[in-house]
Amino acid sequence: MFTGIVEEIGTILVANTGLERDNTLRIGCKLATSDAQLGDSIAVNGVCLTVTAFETDWFEVGLAPETLRRTNLGELKVGSSVNLERALAAGRRMGGHYVQGHVDGTGEIIAIEPDGESKAITIRVASALMRYIVEKGFIAVDGTSLTITRTTDDSFGLAIIAHTQAWAIIGQQQIGDTVNIEVDILAKYVENIVRFDRKLLAE
């Protein structure tokens, strides 16, 4: 479980992807390995991954084919920046929102406009995801917990404050970039409950 509060920006040191097996990433970091153990979970661009090897300033993770199909991790290259967050520790304050690290799909940045010190960013996603996205609701974009400012039939808007621009990779991203999207799990639970209620009423 994560909160969507990015702890640091890491750097891809080795990217072995697009292989039939043994797809891996090695990620340079300062904080993420400070208390790491083999088997720990770290969110990389919002994707919950398992630490398979580490030293003081890097860690490695394996990537399943499903992960490469559903996320933007297969597009990463040596030197790419990634958001990193360690799993939530018991007793810590819960900032952001409940983020599982289970990416639902990807979106494309289609507009970036200045808004004072903030940036207004628009992201286009598949219609299958838009049903879970509501104005003023939560969403995780590359693992960053953000509030939705507006919606259309196929896109949503975000207001990215100066702090978030400096602390997460969304401040570096450009129009056309692919981002990982995890919708609010509560929306999916509600949909499932309603579906089963309708099924019971129909029987």
Residue in 17, 41, 81, 151 annotated catalytic? 41
- Cross-strand pairs, 197: none
Contact status, residue 72 vs residue 182, Cβ threshold 8 Å: no
CA angle 151, 163, 180 (to 5 degrees): 45
Pull the structure tokens for residue 86: 């360690």
Residue in 53, 64, 126, 162 annotated catalytic? 64
> Where do we find the tokens 């598949």?
126
50 given a catalytic annotation: yes
64 given a catalytic annotation: yes
Pull the structure tokens for residue 75: 């597009």
Residue in 34, 56, 102, 162 annotated catalytic? 102
Pull the structure tokens for residue 4: 């969507």
Residue in 48, 106, 155, 168 annotated catalytic? 48
Contact status, residue 39 vs residue 48, Cβ threshold 8 Å: no
Residue in 34, 50, 52, 56 annotated catalytic? 50
Residue in 111, 147, 152, 163 annotated catalytic? 147
Residue in 2, 54, 59, 156 annotated catalytic? 2
41 given a catalytic annotation: yes
163 given a catalytic annotation: no
2 given a catalytic annotation: yes
53 given a catalytic annotation: no
Residues annotated as catalytic are 2, 41, 48, 50, 64, 102, 147
